[in-house]
Amino acid sequence: MKNVMKKLVGLLMIFMMTFIFTTQSFADKDTFVVAMEANYAPFNWSQSSDKDEAYPIENSNGEYANGYDLQIAKKIAKSLNKKLVVIKMEWDGLAPAVMSGKVDAIIAGMSPTEERKKQIDFSNAYYQSDLVVVVKNDGKYSSAKSLNDFKGAKITGQLNTFHYTMVDQIKGVDKIAAMESFPSMISAVLSDKIDGYIAEKPQALSAQASNSELSFVQFDKENGFKASPEDTTIAIGVKKGSDLTEKINKALDEIDSKQRDELMEKMVQLNVESEKPQGFLAKVKSIFNEYGSLFLKGALMTLFIASVSTIIGFLIGILVAVIRNAKIDKDNNKIGYYIHKVISFILACYVEIFRGTPMMVQAMLIYFGTKLYMGIDMAPITAALFIVSINTGAYLSEVVRGGINSIDVGQMEACKAVGMTHGQSMLYVILPQAIKNILPSIGNEFVINIKDTSVLNVISVTELFFISKSIAGSTYNIFETYAVTCVIYFVLTFSLTRLLLFIEKKVYNKEYVMEATTGGMFNGK
């Protein structure tokens, strides 16, 4: 047990060094760091090669961004005489990223609404679009001519966009809760969960080109949505008071309206001309053939985060459980007694807070909050390891505490009788037995961590789910993409479950042999 603990401590030191050397900032004076979803064709999408003037994504090795936003970003970076750095990020994380200084600008098809202007500044417009409703081409509303024709229809829009507020302009509409992304809305339309969703015309063109079952309804001025120019305008978001606003505006002035229209037409055409297999299995095969390397990288990242975080969390859990379980005699050590009470209270708060709040919320607060309020700029992988480790530590501390409590109190008393200290008793007698008893729970937490890493997509960690969302958004083959993802997750969890069962069997068989050969001396008997 002592040797095992030494090895675990050694691993912990290695992982702590990993934390130190992966802490980074993408931005510096020679770079122009741009955040986008890479999941919103034709404005931005991701692909597996640099064809058609695509550009590498900094935080996802092997993935390339393309689209209207990307091409505009390249022109601006050239005008600023800076190197372009593209960061793929979830929509909800874009504003916090620029507010905290993790990125220089948001170029992601974002409209400069009044609510957003309170948080960040915007450049002049770099595109203007019309609002349409995406529907099934053989559906009830495919022949609609005005908003009044959508009475009773189930309509939605993307979460945290002005598109969703436009639903209220349809009289008698069945307003469905906003959805996270366009791929999820497309899935809902195709599965008849909703009748349609509100989008801008370029996005609707790409969705239609990528899926023959979709079409969109376009309106004239009298029968369509009433939106302010700023709502249908697309602009670049920067930090409040940034001197980049003026520089970006100057760069945009160099791109005339004809160039912009030609560029958007070209990006839409890239989606139209892409060949799409017709059958489900053919689509799955095509997706895996093209994006297989990205799926593999995502799976390895998921496995790495889950493995490292489970080990660190286990060590944290042991430390917390041992401290909270310690007994200090108030009469013999009054100061130590009260210090222990304070520490135990702090540790109890830590356990309750991290067990009582969602990991996704913790990720947002820690990743963006540490930069915004403490000036600590953690890399996504650093934040991921830290978040999952302390979350796992909170859960496993209770598991370890339960394992310690399962050991007969007589064993601790016997240790004291032979002159062993509390630390020696825990290290050599109690913990080995407790860990043996909780081994299945530790393995279960490991498997849970593999699945729970999916929430880290909100801070741009390129784990399996984040990669899958990007592929689904770029190809619009949502069901087929997530079918591949489902199989990969199952293979990971099933294989690890079998491995953990094998380890448990070896541990319990070894204990049985030792007990049989020592005449019942094992476990303090």
What is the model's pLDDT at position 523? 47
Whether 120 and 137 map to the same domain: the answer is no
Q: Are residues 290 and 156 in the same domain?
A: no
Q: Are residues 71 and 170 in the same domain?
A: no
What pLDDT is recorded for position 348? 94
Q: Which residues are bridge partners to 88 per DSSP?
A: 36
Residue 2 falls within a domain, yes or no? Answer: no
Give residue 11's pLDDT band: very low, low, confident or very high (50, 70, 90).
low
Query: Residues 436, 503: one domain?
Result: yes
Q: Is residue 279 part of a domain?
A: no
Which single residue is written with the structure tokens 């015309």? 201
Q: Is residue 227 situated within a structural domain?
A: no
Looking at the fold, whether 343 and 472 belong to one and the same domain comes out as yes
Q: Does the residue 492 lie in any domain?
A: yes
Is 11 part of a structural domain of the chain? no
Residues 167-202 pLDDT 10s: 999 999 999 999 988 888 998 999 999 999 999 988
One domain for residues 249 and 383: no
List the CATH number of the domain containing 364: 1.10.3720.10
Full strand arrangement of the beta sheet holding 44-47: 39-40, 44-47, 64-66, 55-56
- 72 falls in which pLDDT band (50, 70, 90)? very high
Q: pLDDT-derived band of residue 525, with 50, 70 and 90 as boundaries?
A: very low
Among 43, 72, 37, CA closest to 267: 43
Handedness of CA 26, 29, 30, 31 (dihedral sign): positive
Q: How many domains does the chain have?
A: 3
pLDDT digits (tens, 9 = 90+) for 460-514: 888 999 899 888 877 778 888 999 999 999 999 999 989 888 887 877 666 555 4
Query: What is the edge-to-edge ordering of all strands in the sheet holding 83-88?
Result: 83-88, 31-36, 105-110, 233-238, 121-128
419 within domain boundaries? yes
In a domain, 28, yes or no: yes
268 shares a domain with 158? no
Q: Examine the domain organization and report whether 173 and 43 are in the same domain.
A: no
pLDDT digits (tens, 9 = 90+) for 254-274: 999 899 989 998 998 886 654
pLDDT exceeding 90 applies to what percent of the chain? 51
111 and 135 share one domain: no
Of 83-92, 206-215, 409-418, give the range with the top mean pLDDT: 83-92
Whether omega before 56 lies within 30 degrees of 0, making that bond cis, reads no
Give the domain CATH number at 81.
Answer: 3.40.190.10
User: Is 311 found in the same domain as 174?
Assistant: no
- For residues 355 and 486, membership in a common domain is answered with yes
- pLDDT value at position 207? 86
pLDDT at 26 over 80: no
CA separation, residue 142 to residues 178, 181, 196, 202, 228 (Å) = 21, 22, 10, 18, 26
Q: Choose one of 176, 192, 217: the last residue of a domain.
A: 217
pLDDT tier, 347 (very low <50, low <70, confident <90, very high otherwise): very high
Q: What is the mean pLDDT of residues 335-361?
A: 92
Higher local confidence (pLDDT), 514 or 349: 349
12, part of any domain:
no
Same domain, 333 and 390: yes
Least confident of 213-217, 327-331, 443-447: 327-331
For 179-248, give the secondary structure using H, E and C. Answer: ECCHHHHHHHHHCCCCCEEEEEHHHHHHHHHHCCCEEEECCCCCCCCCCCHHHHEEEEEECCCCCHHHHH
Range of the domain at 77: 24-126+234-274
